[in-house]
Amino acid sequence: MGSLDGYLQALSLVAIVILAPMTIHLIVHKEENTVFVFVNSDDDGDEKEIQPTGNETNARDLPDLNRSEVARIATFNIKTFGKTKMSNLEVIDILVDTVLQYDMVSVQEIRDIDQNVPYQFLDAINNQSNNTWDMKLSERSGQQEDDTSYQEQYAFYYNTTVFSPINDSLYNDSEFDLFQKEPYIGSFEMLNASGNNSGFNFTLITIHTKPAIAMEEINALHTVVQDYQQQNPDEPDIVILGDYNAGCSYASPEELWQSPMRNSSYTWLVPDSADTTVSSTYCAYDRIVTTGDLSGRLVGTWGIDSSSFSSSNVSDHYPVWFDLYR
C-alpha cells in the first residue's frame, strides 16, 4: 500500500503542475447529490471543457453561507406545461415542491392557449408556501408570421420577500426575426433579509431556442444583450438563462466556443460537460450565463437539481440554479 500511496501522491503533484497555468478556474462543492462548478471562461477558449468527477479539490474555497444569505434563482423547462399536466395533481405537487426550493424560477414551455395554467400554478405555489409568490408572464412568444405555428409563454415566478419586479417585455424581434420564440426580459430589484431594497437591480433574459437552429439563436442572444445595454446603459447586470438546447446534436462544444456569447464579457456557469436532462441522454441543454460577476453579487455556486424527481412525466429537463449574495 505504501508504494501505491507514493504513486498517487506523485500523480497528484503532476496534475497540479499541469493544471496550475490554466485560466479556467474550477470550484467544486458538494451538497447532497449536487455538484457545483464555477467556470470563468477565457478569451481565447483554449480550454473547452471540464468534466467533474465528484473527487476534485477546490481551486478556491466557496463562502460558508446560510441559505438566507443568498437568493437562489433557477431556470426550468417544464415540458409542455398545459392543461393536461396542470390536471395531474401528483405532478403538480412535485413541481410546486421543486419551485419552492428557490426564490425565483424562470419557466419555459408554458403551452395553454387560454393562458389559465400559469395563474393556476401560481395559486398552487401560494397554497403551499409560507411566503407570498407572484409572477411576471410574457405574451405568447412566436410573434412573427412565420413563427405562429408554435407558440408558448415564459414566466418568472418569484418570492415577493426576496424580489420586486421593475419591468418586463418580450424582445422585439420584428426587424430581423432572429428567434422562433422571442426571449423574455424581466428586470428586478433584490430585497435584503429585512425586506428592503438591497441596492442591487438586475435583468433576466430567458430563452427557449428552436433545436434545429439552436446555434443561430444562441449567437443572436449576444445581439439581444447589446440591444438591451444600449437602451439601458445604467443596467450592467444581466443573466441570460433558459433552455439553450446547447448540447448533443444541436450545439457542439466547438460551435459554442466560436459563439459571440463566449467572449470575455460573459461568464458561463454550466460547462459543456454537464447533463441537465432527465432521460438517458447526456446533454447540457440548460444554461446560465452572466455579464461578469454581477457587481460582485455572483456567489459562484450553481447546481443541477436531479434529486427532486426522476420521471419525464414531470419534465425532460432538471432545474438548473445559481446563487446571488443578498
Q: pLDDT, tens digit, for every residue of 186-209? A: 999 999 989 999 999 999 999 999
H-state helical runs in 180-213 = none
Closest CA to 24 of 53, 48, 2: 48
Decide if pLDDT at 23 tops 70. Answer: no
Contact call for residues 244 and 218 (beta carbons, < 8 A): yes
Q: Is the pLDDT confidence value at 322 over 60?
A: yes
The question of whether 208 is a catalytic residue gets the answer: yes
pLDDT of 275 > 70? The answer is: yes
24 versus 118: the higher-pLDDT residue is: 118
Mean pLDDT taken over the chain: 85
Specify the pLDDT at position 62.
Answer: 60
Least confident of 55-64, 193-202, 218-227: 55-64
Residue 31 is a catalytic residue? no
Average pLDDT over residues 44-69: 50
Most confident of 37-51, 59-73, 116-130: 116-130
Task: Note the pLDDT of residue 232.
Answer: 97
| CA angle centred on 255, ends 24 and 145, rounded to 5° | 125
Share of the chain above pLDDT 70, in %: 80
Checking if the pLDDT of 326 tops 90, the result is yes
Buried b (16+ CB within 10 A) or exposed e, 97-123: ebbbbbbbbbbbbbbbeeeebbeebbe
Three cell numbers at 304?
443541477
Beta-sheet pairing, 26-31 with 298-304: unpaired
Percent of the chain scored above 90 by pLDDT?
74
The catalytic position among 109, 152, 182, 217 is 152
Judge whether residue 97 has pLDDT over 50.
yes
Mean pLDDT score, 248-276: 96
Does pLDDT of 229 surpass 90? yes
Sign, CA dihedral 50-53-54-56, equals: negative
Which of 172, 232, 238, 183 is closest to 206 using CA atoms?
183
Mean pLDDT of 311-316: 95
Q: pTM surpassing 0.75?
A: yes
pLDDT the model gives residue 90? 97
Q: What is the mean pLDDT of residues 225-247?
A: 97
* Beta-bridge partners for 303: 321
Instruction: Please tell me the CATH superfamily of domain 67-325, with its number.
Output: Endonuclease/exonuclease/phosphatase (3.60.10.10)
Q: Which of 182, 208, 217, 317 is catalytic?
A: 208
pLDDT of residue 21: 35
Residue 143 — very low, low, confident or very high, per pLDDT cuts 50/70/90?
confident
Question: Which segment of 24-28, 217-221, 262-266, 274-278 scores lowest on mean pLDDT?
Answer: 24-28
pLDDT of res. 276: 97
The predicted pLDDT at position 148 comes to 72
